[in-house]
Structure 1
Amino acid sequence: MSENRLFRRRRWWLASWYTGIMGVILSLCGLGVYEAIVRAHRVNIDSEVKSVAGTLHDSLEPVLKQPGQLTPVAQEVLPNLCLKAIHCPIQRTDLERHRVSEIRKDSYYLRLVDRSGELVAFSEQLPEGLPLLRPQQRWQTLTSDKGIHYRQISLWLHTQDNRRWGDLQVGRSLEDIEDNLAAIRGIMLLGLSITMLIVGASSWWLAKLAMQPIYDSYRQIQQFTGDAAHELRTPLAAIQATIESTLRISQLSDSEARETLQVVKRQDQRLSQLVDSLLLLSRMERRGWLSRQNQYSHSDRVSLHDIVSDVAEELAPLAMAAGVKLITDIRVQQSLEVMGNEQQLYRLLTNLVTNGIQYTAADGKVNLTLDRYQQEALIAIQDTGIGIAPMQQTRIFDRFYRVNSDRSRITGGFGLGLPIAAAIAQAHQGSIHLQSQPGKGTTFTIRLPLKRR
């Protein structure tokens, strides 16, 4: 749609809000998923460290005799331990490597601390610069000089006679976990960015889709205002010109004054007819007319046979003057009745038949047919006139629209007859269908639900 600046700003506003809200929702969802992944990793790491520490604790505690001292048997249980101030052994046998396989992993370390918090022994893989803290809690997260985080568990050790020996500290590096989480964050941020681009484009399209009916209504209002002003300008200009020409005459005769008043009266009637038609359309659209808001106090039983006959009788002189043959064909013997307003149904048929007569050349004909199909009454108005092009058929029921503007102005039409007819049919739960071919004529078919007996 071709948008003006106001609608484009509104469209940007709607798209921005939708994108922002979706961004917040997706970000919160992504944060929740990320926190769930972090928690799963943390639980898994804690379980793993606890299992390794428990195994070492159960192997070491039965061979401890004196608090803060390691017996040779304890050193055999953990042969890769480095005692404080003593260099660590380098060569290991296959059996030793098997015994200490759990703590020889690069991501694990082990420390033995006495009751005073002094380091007694540690594993070869002890990270540099890892702080030795007196355990205030069972679980701790420490950081080495290289900025690597470690998850550590501290377990009490007791001697064979159940005296407090010190603490067993087992830790695991979180470097691989953090690298994995960093990769996940990168993927999620990239995915969020791509998703937001898609959401932004979708928001722009959805904003257009949502505002299209509003914009169409806005354009219809603009068009209606212009058309109404144009229709009002013609009779007003005629009145103004007549008055100005009359004022230039110094001595105005009775016949000239009467002629001036007649011109003003004709244009006044034209204006009144236009205003009445517009008010009728406005009431129908605003209140839903008749059945929707019960505009009239009650609905009457209306005989379509009588209406068709009356319309044909009233418009016969108009058809004769135009050289058009008006044919009435009532194909059902039983009276067809509908619930509605007789005056408006009469106007419905009058508008359509008049329209057919006006657009049919001399020696042509207009057929007015009444028939029945199941529980509906069918009224067809078929003419042999100029027809309507396919591109114009979609707009034929628009206000002020004319297939032939020049001819409509000559006949005094405003382009409101068909819109009023369509509104009346819809108000009676009916419809109007159009079939037309240029040069071959037009057929309007009215469908109205019959009164239930």
Structure 2
Amino acid sequence: MAWDTDSIKISKRPFNRLRWRLLLSYLGVMIAILGSSTLAVYEFFANSLYAQLDRQLLTLADAGVHGLEAVKEGYEDDEDDEDDEDHHDYEDHHDYEAIAPRLDNDGDLDIPWQNFRQPAQGIEWFDERGNLLARQGLIFPSAPLVTRTSNEGSGHTVNGGIRTLTWVAHEQDEEDLDIEGYVRVSQSTEAVEEVLVKLRWGMLLGGAIAASLTAVGGMWLTDQALKPIEASFNQLKQFTADASHELRSPLTAIKTSVDVMLSHPERIHPADVKKFEAIASALKQMTRLVEDLLILARTDQSSHPSQWVNLPLEELLEDLIDLWLPQAEAKDIILRADAIAPAMRSIIAPVTIQGDPFLLQRLFANLLENALNYTPPGGKVTLSLEQQEDWIAVSIQDTGIGIAPEHLPLVFDRLWRADKARTRRAGGSGLGLAIAKSIAEQHQGQILVTSQLNVGSCFQVLLPIHF
């Protein structure tokens, strides 16, 4: 067969997988960095806004503490003007809603806070027992006052979108700092939440734009990183194909000369016969290796070669069985084909696939040869054919030495040999399964393998059916 190695087009499938892996890894790292940075910025701004709100509450509370004495005096004066019954009720009155309207400062208390009407703030004064004295503003929490003994700690609470600060007023003249009363200031968090909502939407939009730009930049960086690798790989593949092609001619000449010498043993000294046989065996192995390298170079070309034709798969497999049956019988191995049952062939149309006849024949020949080489005498190799919807499954099962579970992911690697399974075989290039996988993938198929040590292996080839 003539091989064209002048301009071999290397398939980009391996590099496409590598490109996507690099791109996804890059995006994962960048998105993690971007996400953590965005959360950190958001938390910083949120804490800053609430810290600013707390400072405003603290300023208001400090001002309110200075007015507590005036509020208490105004409240006591207001009590003196009431009748005895109302005054008696006050001593035992603890219902917040009942006394709040009377102490709403609609002119009852003459204090500096009389006209305090901030729409987002409110201030309340309590005596040392926690009873409400007065309040001004428009924002008040619904929760009752929680008394405190000191101003240590934040003293901030959030309830129903209202942030409050309870401040304890002490009598400064006393050494024990007895509690004089409480000032509770409140402010709505609506303005802060509006800013945070806008910030979240802005960060979400900015994050989407940043992620898009990162993806575009990642694709460009990945392409730039893979260009020298692809160039080196293409040069290596081209060199392999050229070198293999150039080796065929001298190997053919040497093989012809050795065959001629072996065909005339009378011209060879008896002591040199085994040497020539060793040379012939080495030439056969080298020739097989060169042919395998050329096949790998060819299968790395475009996935739709012009040589593809419609093939009846069952006939191709029957021809292979006839070809390998003498070798199986010589090794005392049962080679059986369990394809479509004869009774069904009259009503089922032959299974047809599309592909390169030579490559597909080489695919199944490699699997059959592999099964026969690793099956001991007395064993069995079974080839079966099964249709699965739009796919055809060709299974080659043997009763050989099997493959260890840790070696299964490596069996299709080029030139890989397991210590136990593959050193047992004499000859071979170590490329048979790699070639089979490459051919299957070129035909939009795949190879699956299951195996158990000392029980056997099963290689299943899935190929699309051509209707």
What TM-score do you get using the length of structure 2 for normalisation? 0.44
What TM-score do you get using the length of structure 1 for normalisation? 0.45
Q: Higher Cα Rg: structure 1 or 2?
A: 1
- Which structure exhibits the higher relative contact order, with contacts defined as CA atoms closer than 8 Å and separated by 6 or more residues? 2
